[in-house]
């Protein structure tokens, strides 16, 4: 046939993509020297001429993967290439046809894994060595065909693997080797199989007992995912065997009671007493192996956490903690990571803490609808490799029941798997059929080994179902009839595994019956201990007396100590090149103590931090740009302008054996606030501070303020001394850069749950930080919410004299100097908080005869200093007005909170007035000119005497 023969008749129709390019390169060689190519190819080129491209559609056979096409002339090399590509596709796409879904066995597209798509036969594969296909395959495989069958068996059964999105070659090769060698599959003996059956029977028996005993009560059953408990058992036992001494668990409601009962060993009788609404702390074991904390208001049983201590020999113990978690599901993720980082670090060293990633592990159990649905998951995954937040990897378990309340997966996510969002973070994923408990144990072993070797996250997607409705009062057939018709006829995992062991000859029917009877007897005995109703329930639910007190502590520091700290903070190595302008700014602090100069806000903070470290308290500060400070005020981390090297003067203070860190956080508020809260709870001796870039950005973390920081102690007895620094002040920067939303924190202020302060001087900041550090390990500790300044950072009227740091302490109220001395003439007392106090002080310089006026700065808004105010107000017999002055709109700021106190404080006949912006839906004006006019109006109104 001539070289002009049609394309359809030519061999070129079978080539496309890279393979066509390869043939075209060969043709160029042929044109230069026909004998330079393989004789078979020379014959093809002689007959058909140059490779041609299709002008019309061609067959798609052989295009299972467009990156591979078999050449028209098959030789041994091309068949090896095809076979290797076939094997790689099994690895990459095997999960698509794997048997990982216990109730939905829909038809699957197997095209990528069909031999015919690669123009190969069994005989072709038998001519290829097994090692070409899978270098890690068992040595007993004779050839490439057996190797391919081995890969199909490994990648398409009850375990399915996704790891091709992991870019690190060492990790990918390790995962491939482990998976194809199969060494992580458990080889269980008779006793181990029987123990696994017993564990599944305990899990199922517990749920069934509750179901029939407490009819209609919510429990958020584990049924359909019973394998979660032996999965967690396995991860924990493997980790403890390697010497890990702390394991932290986070999870939502589904299966939580079962995890409490069987992983944390919370006594059955205590759980049953909560169903009876008769909780009894006397039911907690006396030996102290289990810890249950209670607040004074309490919480529902499926939100509660617990601690458990495992003994190893006579000395070593492992602490297992299940974190308290409200109904916001995934929000516990960063909190558990914070627990874990705190447990891994030794903070009794100067400089950075010493971190041992093997000393503590986080296990996080997710919901399949929540994992892709709630952004906090991705925020937390992103933090996993960052130096300020890395915990050496968490083991993530998606408790996948393929439904969220009544919403099936097709309506709740845009991805094939619930786990897909983790691929962007290169986290390996194993999907496992929850009806195969031995495969589940294999997944646990692989996850443990990967985390141990690479100190990175690992995901186990445990695919099961939910046997009942979202809670036990729901009827799922109303909304999900097709799914629940299948579930209704599906045997439980315990029944399936019992049948398997019967068939294998490991147990008898009598043994199975006896296991179930023994479990039910234990449950009934526990239930019989529980009082049927609680006598004299506490309906007032008042907090303990110590909650209402704040101890007096010494916060002043001797001048010689502060001077020494100041001197050491201004030292850096001779060859370290600090940026010139910054160097000059810092060096202005050198002679402060000799010349009795003023100390600005950031300088006071640095001295406070240094003195706190000398007192033995570690410090951890994080936030967006916190190393420098949003307003270029802090600069605790210096950078060499020539090398980029970091130097932290705080690490080189003398006589300090406590760690200090300040990290720039990722651009998120929610996950970072959760992490810092968790860190603080687990490291109560550490001063943990989180700083918002601007105060109102904290609203991105509102769930943590509402559900944990403000109420965690009342609900769960969970103490926190976390400090939140929220830049606040109206300076014409618009709605999103003015308000720290102090009103939101005041709205949640009750039962002395936290301290909310809006300070006006650097000295106040110095003392309140030192006070917070001093009470961290006391029962009276509580979180501290600080509205911090912007313009006041460098304002001379906010700066401190040295004597203010070396004497006295924090003052809930500051009286304006120069006012209020003539008690008979004062007719108006202004009460204000924060920056507006400095604005008022500036304007007083132009005031004529201000003796009719007094100004009180309410520095601590909560607890409100009612007694102190009452005492001051009583000095002025001719008082006519108490005026609350603020920058914020009337429905924001401190006015609504303070007004009720002012009505109580005001003597008879004294009017209560408000001066500030009118009620607004937006916190501040967007126009700086309008802002200035409003600010001037407020000041003028406050300082103008009534007619």
Summarize pLDDT for 476-534 with one digit per residue, the tens.
888 888 888 888 999 999 999 999 999 999 999 999 999 999 999 999 999 998 877 76
> Reduced to 3 states, what is the DSSP secondary structure of residue 862?
strand
- Residues 361, 448: Cα–Cα separation, whole Å: 10
Question: What token pair was written down for 841?
Answer: 């002080």
The more confident residue out of 311 and 95 is: 95
pLDDT band at 535 (very low <50, low <70, confident <90, very high): low
CA 508, distance to chain mean position in Å, is 46
27 pLDDT more than 50:
yes
pLDDT value of residue 52: 61
> Where is average pLDDT lowest: 139-143, 391-395, 810-814, 893-897?
139-143
Tally the C-alpha atoms within 13 A of residue 918's C-alpha that lie toward its C-beta. 0
The pLDDT tens digits for 256-290 are 999 999 999 999 998 998 888 766 666 666 555 67
pLDDT value of residue 336: 96
> Reduced to 3 states, what is the DSSP secondary structure of residue 439?
helix
Asked if residues 229 and 203 have their Cβ atoms less than 8 Å apart, the reply is yes
Angle, helix 190-213 to helix 437-454, in steps of 10 degrees: 110
- Residues 413, 417: Cα–Cα separation, whole Å: 8
> Where is average pLDDT lowest: 316-320, 443-447, 808-812?
316-320
pLDDT value of residue 70: 58
- Residues 835, 760: Cα–Cα separation, whole Å: 6
Asked if residues 440 and 470 have their Cβ atoms less than 8 Å apart, the reply is no
Asked if residues 259 and 322 have their Cβ atoms less than 8 Å apart, the reply is yes
Q: What angle do CA 842, 848, 853 make, to 5 degrees?
A: 75
The pLDDT tens digits for 611-631 are 999 999 999 999 999 999 999
60 pLDDT more than 60:
no
Report the b/e string of 509-541 with b at 16+ CB within 10 A.
Answer: eebbeebbeebeeebeebbeebeeeeeeeeeee
End-to-end Cα distance, the chain: 114
Phi/psi at 491 (nearest 5 deg)? -70, 150
- Residues 443, 185: Cα–Cα separation, whole Å: 8
The pLDDT tens digits for 171-211 are 999 999 999 998 889 899 999 999 999 999 999 999 999 99
For residue 617, how many other CB atoms are within 10 A of its CB?
Answer: 21
Q: Strand 246-250 relative to strand 360-367: parallel, antiparallel, unpaired? A: parallel
Whole-number CA gyration radius for the chain? 35
Tell me the average pLDDT of the chain: 89
Phi/psi at 426 (nearest 5 deg)? 60, 40
- CB neighbour list of residue 777: distance below 8 Å, 6 or more residues apart: 684, 685
Read off the DSSP letter of residue 621: E
Question: What token pair was written down for 913?
Answer: 């007035």
Closest CA to 724 of 747, 702, 707, 751: 702
> Reduced to 3 states, what is the DSSP secondary structure of residue 120?
coil
What average pLDDT score do residues 759-776 get? 97
pLDDT value of residue 695: 85
């Amino acid at each position: 046939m001539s070289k002009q023969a049609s394309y359809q008749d030519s061999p070129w129709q079978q080539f496309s993509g890279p393979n066509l390019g390869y043939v075209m390169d060969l043709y160029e060689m042929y044109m230069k020297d026909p004998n330079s190519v393989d004789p078979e190819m020379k014959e093809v080129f002689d007959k058909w001429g140059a490779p041609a491209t299709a002008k019309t559609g061609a067959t798609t056979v052989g295009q299972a993967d467009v990156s591979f096409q078999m050449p028209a002339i098959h030789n041994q090399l091309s068949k090896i290439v095809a076979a290797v590509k076939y094997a790689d596709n099994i690895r990459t796409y095997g999960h698509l046809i794997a048997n990982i879904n216990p109730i939905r066995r829909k038809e699957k597209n197997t095209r990528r894994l069909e031999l015919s798509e690669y123009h190969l036969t069994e005989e072709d594969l038998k001519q290829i060595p097994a090692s070409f296909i899978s270098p890690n395959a068992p040595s007993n495989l004779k050839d490439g065909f057996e190797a391919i069958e081995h890969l199909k068996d490994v990648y398409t059964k009850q375990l399915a693997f996704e790891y091709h999105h992991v870019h690190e070659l060492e990790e990918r090769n390790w995962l491939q080797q482990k998976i194809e060698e199969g060494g992580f599959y458990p080889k269980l003996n008779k006793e181990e199989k029987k123990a696994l059956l017993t564990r599944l029977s305990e899990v199922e028996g517990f749920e069934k007992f509750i179901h029939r005993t407490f009819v209609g009560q919510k429990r958020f059953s584990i049924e359909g995912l019973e394998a979660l408990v032996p999965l967690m058992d396995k991860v924990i036992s493997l980790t403890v065997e390697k010497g890990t001494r702390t394991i932290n668990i986070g999870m939502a409601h589904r299966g939580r009671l079962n995890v409490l009962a069987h992983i944390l060993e919370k006594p059955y009788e205590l759980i049953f007493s909560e169903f009876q609404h008769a909780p009894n702390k006397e039911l907690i074991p006396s030996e102290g192996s289990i810890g249950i904390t209670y607040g004074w208001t309490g919480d529902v049983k499926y939100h509660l956490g617990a601690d458990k201590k495992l003994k190893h020999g006579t000395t070593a113990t492992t602490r297992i903690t299940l974190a308290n978690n409200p109904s916001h599901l995934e929000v516990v993720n960063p909190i558990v990571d914070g627990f874990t980082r705190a447990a891994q670090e030794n903070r009794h060293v100067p400089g950075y803490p010493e971190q041992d990633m093997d000393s503590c592990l986080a296990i996080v159990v997710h919901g399949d609808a929540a994992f892709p649905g709630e952004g906090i998951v991705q925020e937390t995954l992103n933090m996993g490799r960052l130096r300020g937040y890395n915990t050496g990897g968490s083991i993530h378990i998606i408790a996948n029941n393929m439904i969220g309340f009544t919403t099936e997966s097709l309506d709740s996510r845009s991805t094939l798997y619930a786990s897909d969002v983790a691929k962007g973070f290169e986290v390996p994923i194993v999907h496992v059929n929850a009806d195969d408990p031995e495969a589940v144990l294999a997944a646990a072993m692989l996850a443990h080994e990967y985390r141990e070797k690479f100190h990175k996250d690992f995901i186990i997607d445990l695919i099961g179902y939910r046997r009942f409705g979202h809670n036990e009062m729901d009827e799922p057939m109303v909304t999900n009839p097709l799914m629940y018709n299948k579930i209704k006829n599906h045997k439980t995992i315990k029944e399936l595994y019992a049948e398997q062991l019967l068939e294998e000859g490991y147990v008898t029917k009598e043994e199975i019956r006896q296991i179930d009877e023994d479990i039910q007897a234990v449950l009934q005995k526990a239930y019989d201990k529980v009082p049927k109703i609680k006598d004299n329930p506490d309906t007032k639910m008042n907090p303990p007396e110590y909650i209402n007190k704040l101890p007096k502590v010494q916060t002043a520091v001797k001048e010689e100590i502060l001077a020494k700290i100041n001197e050491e903070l201004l030292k850096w190595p001779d060859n370290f090149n600090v940026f010139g302008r910054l160097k000059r700014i810092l060096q202005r602090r050198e002679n402060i103590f000799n010349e009795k100069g003023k100390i600005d806000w950031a300088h006071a903070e640095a001295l406070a931090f240094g003195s706190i470290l000398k007192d033995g308290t570690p410090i951890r500060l994080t936030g967006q740009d916190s190393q420098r400070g949003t307003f270029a005020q802090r600069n605790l981390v210096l950078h060499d302008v020539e090398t980029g090297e970091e130097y932290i003067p705080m690490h080189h203070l003398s006589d300090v054996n406590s760690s200090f860190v300040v990290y720039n956080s990722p651009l998120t508020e929610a996950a970072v606030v959760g992490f810092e809260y968790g860190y603080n709870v687990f490291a109560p001796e550490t001063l943990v501070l989180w700083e918002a870039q601007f105060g109102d950005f904290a609203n991105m973390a509102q769930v943590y303020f509402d559900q944990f920081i403000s109420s965690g102690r009342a609900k769960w007895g969970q103490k926190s001394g976390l400090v939140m620094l929220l830049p606040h002040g109206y300076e014409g920067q618009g709605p999103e850069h003015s308000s720290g939303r102090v009103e939101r924190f005041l709205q949640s202020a009750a039962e002395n749950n936290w301290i909310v302060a809006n300070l006006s001087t650097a000295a106040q900041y110095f003392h309140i930080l030192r006070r917070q550090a001093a009470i961290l390990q006391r029962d009276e500790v509580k979180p501290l919410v600080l509205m911090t300044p912007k313009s006041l950072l460098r304002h001379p009227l906010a700066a401190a004299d040295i004597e203010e740091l070396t004497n006295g302490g924090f003052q809930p109220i500051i009286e304006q100097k120069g006012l209020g001395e003539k008690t008979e003439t004062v007719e108006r007392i202004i009460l204000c908080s924060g920056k507006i106090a400095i604005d008022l002080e500036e304007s007083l310089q132009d005031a004529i005869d201000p003796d009719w006026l007094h100004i009180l700065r309410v520095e601590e808004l909560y607890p409100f200093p009612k007694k102190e105010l009452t005492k001051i107000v009583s000095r002025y017999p001719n008082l006519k007005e108490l005026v609350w002055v603020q920058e914020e709109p009337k429905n924001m700021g401190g006015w609504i909170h303070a007004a009720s106190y002012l009505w109580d404080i005001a003597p008879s006949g004294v009017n209560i007035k408000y001066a500030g912006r009118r009620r607004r839906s937006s916190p501040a004006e967007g126009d700086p000119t309008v802002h200035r006019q409003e600010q001037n109006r407020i000041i003028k109104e406050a300082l103008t005497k009534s007619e």
